[in-house]
Structure formats: C-alpha cells, structure tokens
Structure 1
Amino acid sequence: MQNILLFIFTLFAYFVKAITGFGNTLVMGSLFSFVTSNRFTTPIDLIFSIPTNIYIVWKERKNLSVKIVLPLSLMLLAGIIPGTFLLKVGTDWILKSILGIIIVGLGVEMLTRKSNENKVSKTNPAALIVIGVLSGVLAGLYGIGALLVSYIIRTTDNKGQFRANICCVFLVDNVFRFFLYLFTGILNKEILHTAIILAPAVLIGMMIGVKVDAKMKEDNVKKSVITLLIISGTVLFIKSFFNH
C-alpha cells in the first residue's frame, strides 16, 4: 500500500513539475511526509529532478539568461553544504515554520502585485546574496527552492523564460547535491531501489503534464505557480509548527 501511495504522489508531483517548472519537491515533500521521513524523500526527489530538469532546460534552452542563472547558482552552491550538514544531523522545526510563513507571504505579495510592479532589479547584489545563499541552505536541507522561484518569476516575461532559468539553477543544485549526498551517505541502496520502482510514475506524470501545459494560457500558469507557493507554505508551517 505504501508503494502505491508513493507512486501516485510521485506521478502528481511530476505532473505539476511539467506545468510549472518546479513544484515536484513541494508536492512530494508534503505528500510523502504522511508515509515516510524527510531524509528519505529529499534524496529520492533529487534523483528524479536531475533528468527532468535536463529535459526542461534543453526544451527551453533559447530562453536561458546567464545573467539570472550564473549569480544565483553560485550563491546557491555556497549554501548547500551547511544545509546538507543540517539534513545529516537532524532538522529544525523552527526553520521550517519560518520558511512556511515566508513562502506564504511571497505568494500573497506576488498575487496582489499590480502588473506594472512585476519587475525587480536583476542586478541587486544584496538580493542575490540573501536569496541565493538562503535558498542553498534550504535546498540542501529540504530540497526546497521556493525563494528562487519567487525571485525568478519577477525577472522573466513568460513561462518559457521562467522554466528555463529556474530549472537550470535547480540543475546546478541537483548535480552538486547528488555527489554531496553520496559522500555523506544520504544516498543509499534503499533509496536507489525505491527510485527505480517510482521512475515510471515520473515519466507518466511528465508526459501528462506536457500535454496539459500546451493547452494552458500564460496567465493561468503564473497563477498556478503562485497558488502552489501559498498552499505549500501553509502546509509546511502547519506540519512543522504543530507536529514538532
């Protein structure tokens, strides 16, 4: 029964991934937590994130922006090592609760922002450092990149640009964390075995998502991203604060 539930959860997570360019970690983290631990979920999602991000980056390669990807990737890498260390020794419910509040706040702010306020400075070094390093810590600890999502959605004009840049930054994170998880022993035989079982769910979810995405309007995709941020932040806060 557990494997059936994990299969369904994984399929839905990568259906969302195909449409929004992210969200797989948010969905898997929330749903998997009902039947398994965060130390089990994060590395499994990492294994699947690498090929799916490669696919989306290649598909949207004409929309890539080095000015967005390079600085965020460097800051992200700077935060991954301490985040992974925290994952190895244990998790912090206070950090999760605060993150949940931040994600909800960002989602609400993006939802209520007027169209002419939809851009922020692409070269603000302070914003890049804070968002990048904090996102790296959270990526290493929970595999969560919601802060990066909130930044890149402001600096891109359409869903192609958004998906290309967010998935490219995530890919850099994925490759680095893969070897780091191997080195620290977080990736093990049990996780690899489960990943093999769930792999077909990733393929099915991505295939369905790509077909649905082709029929979705640009504005609906952006609203889906924002809604997912708000829901995930709320779930993360409730679970962390009340179940610590």
Structure 2
Amino acid sequence: MGIVFLLSGWFVFCAFFIASFVHATTGFGSALVGMPILVFAIGLQISAPLLALLGQIVNLGVLWQNWKDLDWKHSLILIVPSIFGVPIGLLLLKGGNEELLNAVLGIILVTYGIYSFFYNNNQEINKEISVVSRPHFFWGAIAGFCAGILGGAYNANGPPVIIYASTTHKDKGSFRSILQAFFFVNGFIIIAGHIFAGLITKDVFYYSLWGLPGLIVGMYLGFYVDRFITPQRFRNIVITGIIILGIGLLLPVFYSLLF
C-alpha cells in the first residue's frame, strides 16, 4: 500500500506540474490537462475535489496577472447560471458510474480539441479582427449552466465558456479576461459544493501535499515561458495533448465493449 501511495503521489506531482504550467502559459487548460492524468492515478472521486482545491491557486495567480483587464460584467452572464449547474455535476460525481463518467470526459476532451483546432485556424485567417461582440445572454446562460455541471463532475468547466467567449471576445486580452473572472468565482462555488457533498477527504489532503509543489514549480515556469513562446503555437501543442488524453480515457471503454 505504501508503494502504491508513493507512486500515485508522484503521478499527482507530475499532473499538477503539467496542468499549472499549461494554465499559466495559455490562460486555461489546467483541468483539461490535469484531470485525465489524475483520474488514471487516483480515480475520479479523489481527483475532482483535489483539482478544485489546488486549481484555485493557479486561478488566483493568473487572475493577479490579468486583474486590470477583468471583465466582470460579461462574466456574470456565465457565473450566475453555473451556480445551478454545479450541484447536478456533484450528484453525477458522487453517484454516477465512474467508467461512464470517464467516457463522457473523454468525449468532451476529444470534441473540444477538434473544435479548438478549427477555431484556431479560423483565428489565423482572421487575425486582423480584434473586437468584443455584444454578449448573447441566452447562449451565455447555457454555456454557464453546462460549465457548472462539468465543473461539479470533472472540474472541466472550461470548454463551454471557452467556446462562448471565443464567439464574443475576438482578441486575446478580452478573451482571457472573461475566462479568468469566471474560473476564479466558479472555482469557489465548486469547492463549496465538494465540501457540502463530503468529498473533501483525508486522501484529498494527502495528495494535495504532493500536488502543491508541482503546481508551484509549473506555474512559475509557465509565467516565465509565457514571455517567450507564441500563444498560438503552444495552444496547438496543448490541444493535441488534450485529444490524446481524451482518447486515452476512451480506450478502456472501447476495450470493455469489444472484449
């Protein structure tokens, strides 16, 4: 048991190092990158509250860097509906079939990755566009609600709000500002939900001792690299990794269905 905990602890360290590095460099992606690795190592019910707790440190760091540009008004369109989605996600996490939930997460990752490739290519073609469109309250509410469900179940609240923000915020600064405001507030909502649902256990605190050092080192390096690497190139690398991780979560499901 000691060796198992030690090995899984190193997996957690590496997961948070990679996740925080990606988030600090690109402004998003800590859950999309970190969650699949954590699920492989320690299971979904420990991974979700663990990433919620430590991921908020990354959110705070990125929030600090973007404080002057935060778009609280547009973010409220996403934040308020997400409050109603988080409890549904927590119910799925606590009582759902873990294999099924992993498969759903895998589908989300692959779908989001494919979408992001098409979106990034479109941005390259239309890079002269740099405007903030009028927010669409209906689609913003839908995106926020879905993000709340995914955040409660997987901490993967990014895809719906990223897709929404990409249609209303065309330049990097405004796009990043609405995401950071949402992630920070929604992170506290998700943590409160995990506490209320009794998912913050001693195992979560144990693995947080492994994850915190990896998170700090990854976040520091991410902020440093962010000054030198082009966001477009790095996001393409991240998106490729997200698709690979999603396929990795789906492979055991396909194997069980076929054999």
Q: Structure 1 length as normaliser, TM-score?
A: 0.87
Structure 1 residue 3 displacement after superposition? 1.6
Mapping 1:174-189, distance limit 5 Å: 174-189=187-202
The number of residue pairs the alignment matches comes to 241
Query: Deviation per CA, 1:56-115, whole angstroms, max 9, x where unpaired?
Result: 212211111123211111122221110111111124346335424531342133033231
Matched AA of 1:190: D
- Secondary structure in 1 aligned to 2:41? coil
Question: In the aligned structure 2, how far is the partner of 1:104 from the partner of 1:12?
Answer: 17
Determine what percentage of the aligned residue pairs are the same residue. Answer: 22
Give the counterpart of 1:239 among 249, 253, 259: 249
Asked if the contact 2:11/2:37 (under 8 Å) is kept, the reply is: no
Choose from 96, 99, 103 the match for 2:112.
103
* Alpha-carbon distance between aligned partners in 1 of 2:210 and 2:73, rounded to the nearest angstrom: 38
For 1:60, the equivalent position in structure 2 comes to 66
Residues 22 and 167 (structure 1 numbering): CA distance in 2 closer, same or farther, change over 3 Å? same
Residues 104-183 of structure 1 aligned to structure 2 (within 5 Å) = 104-113=113-122, 114-115=125-126, 121-144=133-156, 145-183=158-196
Q: Determine the C-alpha separation between the residues in 2 that align with 1:120 and 1:165.
A: 11
Rounded to whole Å, the distance in 2 between the matches of 1:202 and 1:185 is 24
Residue in 1 that maps onto 2:85: 79
Q: What is the alpha-carbon distance in structure 2 between the residues aligned to residue 223 and residue 132 of structure 1?
A: 28
How far did 1:151 drift? 2.3
Residue 100 of structure 1 contacts residue 235 of structure 1 at CA under 8 Å; is this kept in 2? yes
- CA-to-aligned-CA distance 1:153-201 (integer Å, 9 cap, x gap): 4433544433332122011111111111111111112101210232111
Q: Which residue matches 1:4?
A: 10
- Structure 2 unaligned blocks of 5 or more: 1-6
Aligned twin of 1:203: 216
2:164 and 2:234 map into 1 onto residues whose CA distance is 16
Note if contact 2:85-2:149 (Cα within 8 Å) is conserved in structure 1: yes
1:36 to 32, 37, 42: 42
Unaligned runs of 5+ in 1: none
Match for 1:22 among 20, 28, 46? 28
CA contact (8 A) 1:14 1:209 kept: yes
Cα 1:98–1:86 shift into 2, 3 Å: same
> Which structure has the larger Rg over C-alpha atoms?
2
Q: Over residues 121-149 of structure 1, what are the superposed CA-to-partner deviations in whole Å (9 max), with x where a residue is unaligned?
A: 44222321221111111111111122212
Counterparts in 2 of 1:71 and 1:187: CA distance versus 1, 3 Å: same
Equivalent of 1:224, from 200, 225, 234? 234
| TM-score with structure 2 setting the length | 0.82
Residue type matched to 2:112 in 1?
A: I
Corresponding residue of 1:46: 52
